[in-house]
Amino acid sequence: CSPESFFSIIQNQRLWLSSMDHMNDYMEKKWFYSTLKKYLYKNLDANCVDQFIAHLDDNISIGTPFACCLSKSGDILSQWRAYAKDGFGVSIGFDREKLDVYDGIIGNNLDPKHRLTLSDISYMDINVIECLAERILSRYSFIKK
């Protein structure tokens, strides 16, 4: 992080979560949806796609996720360049075993809307998204292929 961010974290003893819509890779959340739409247009009757997308929008909302991204590797040149003012920043280390984490949940708030989790990020490839799309489509009998 930048020296300014480091001093703020130390002074306030807080890490901030950022909206995933405003992170440096703003396409992460949108890429999944875009790939899903391409798959649907390729495999469904075109008249059904817009109706199905509207149905998904109305019924499957993840809202705006917030995140605080960390790295398991503390000294990677690309990370220094991208996140630490091109190498003039600070790397803060955390001992995962000393964090209050149980079964991936940080702290004791079990409410899914307010709890924090610590988990590894996994990037889906197109094949995984297409398999997921097939599973979703199999649950809707009104869709014409």
Q: What is the pLDDT of residues 81-113, one digit of tens each?
A: 877 777 788 888 888 777 777 766 777 677 777
Global confidence as pTM: 0.56
- pLDDT tens-place string over residues 48-92: 777 777 777 776 666 677 888 888 887 888 877 877 777 788 888
- Mean pLDDT check: name the lowest of 3-7, 13-17, 94-98: 94-98
Full strand arrangement of the beta sheet holding 116-117: 101-102, 105-106, 116-117
Tell me the average pLDDT across 5-23. Answer: 86
Asked if 70 and 24 count as a contact pair (C-beta separation under 8 A), the reply is no
CB atoms within 10 A of CB 103: 5
- pLDDT tens-place string over residues 37-46: 888 888 877 7
